[in-house]
Amino acid sequence: MNQPAAPEPSWWELLAVLLRPPRVRWVALSLIFSVMIPVASVQYRKQQRMRAEGERAKEQLVFAVRVAGGKLHHVQQRVLEIGRMDTRL
Amino acid sequence: MKILWSLTLCISAAVYGQALDLKHLDRLADKASKVADVTLDGSLLKIGAKFLSADDPDQAKIKKLVAELKGVYVKTFTFEKEGEYSEADITSIRKQLQSPGWSRIVGVQSKKDGENAEVYLKTGEPGGGLAIICANPKELTVVNIVGKIDLDELSDLGGSLGVPKIDLEKTKPANKKDDD
């Protein structure tokens, strides 16, 4: 008794298998992860870069305020010194 | 041509919040043994302030001080020998400080050590500003702050933070400390 050979499934039938539960969940999950991982990695790198820029800007700001304040303080001290010398004279 | 030039000047003044033009000093970098060049304008200044910790008392003071600033520019050159910069370098800054709004509030000249320090304040306009020129034979420092600034607070910070610390030691001129 020879049974007729089952016809080969077409590509849409193969695809339809993937979309049947529970496989569809796995396909959806893999798709989500394959998109999310690169996006998250780009975002992480961007944040790291921004943090580094911010830290650098902070250091520069602290330095600039120190120099500006230091010079202003120095000038004030000089003026006070001159004032004291004038009083002595 | 003149109109175009004036228009360009007006636009750039508005864009840069009337910061002083200190580009001519850049050529001194080759002759200097130590250079510190800080340019913080607009967004960079805000980012820097955002990263200042409110828990650290010194940083909290700076955060409060810079809240209304639009730009901070500092150029410091330390030289091995005297005469590396010319009077013309300073004169061109002084010329800019003769524009309306700026007034010289302090000028100290010391013949003994050849030091010359000037403080200019900009008032009358929203924002204001501060400029400090400190020149001695082996060092030239120019500070330009654009925006509202409390001079007493700044000076207090200079007094308390004057001693150079950790990470900024490389760029901080050291010879100034003897005078302070």
- Report the 3 state secondary structure along chain B: CHHHHHHHHHHHHHHCCCCCCCHHHHHHHHCCCEEEEEEEEHHHHHHHHHCCCCCCHHHHHHHHHCCCEEEEEEEEEECCCCCCCCHHHHHHHHHHCCCCCEEEEEEEEECCCCEEEEEEEECCCCCCEEEEEEEECCEEEEEEEEECCCHHHHHHHHHHHCCCCHHHCCCCCCCHHHHC
Chain B: closest CA distance from residue A41 (Å): 23
The answer to whether residue A68 sits within a structural domain is: yes
The answer to whether residue A5 sits within a structural domain is: no
| Total count of domains within chain A | 1
Chain A, chain B: beta-carbon pairs less than 8 Å apart: 129
Give the pLDDT of residue B169: 39
Give the pLDDT of residue A54: 93
Cβ of A71 under 8 Å from any chain B Cβ? yes
Domain with A30, as residue range(s), is 13-88
Q: Do A61 and B155 touch (CB under 8 A)?
A: no
The answer to whether residue A47 sits within a structural domain is: yes
Instruction: List pLDDT tens digits, range A20-45.
Output: 777 787 888 899 999 999 999 999 99
Cβ of A76 under 8 Å from any chain B Cβ? yes
Instruction: List pLDDT tens digits, range B18-37.
Output: 789 999 999 999 999 999 99
Instruction: List pLDDT tens digits, range A29-88.
Output: 899 999 999 999 999 999 999 999 999 999 999 999 999 999 999 998 888 888 877 776
- Contacting B residues, span 11-30, partner chain A, CB-CB under 8 Å: none
Give the pLDDT of residue A2: 64
Give the pLDDT of residue B1: 47
Q: Do B180 and A79 touch (CB under 8 A)?
A: no
Give the pLDDT of residue B160: 62
Query: Which regions of chain B are under pLDDT 50?
Result: 1, 3-16, 162-180
The answer to whether residue A83 sits within a structural domain is: yes
> Residue ranges of the domains in chain B?
30-40+69-179
Could you say which of B73, B110, B155 has the minimum Cβ distance to residue A76? B155
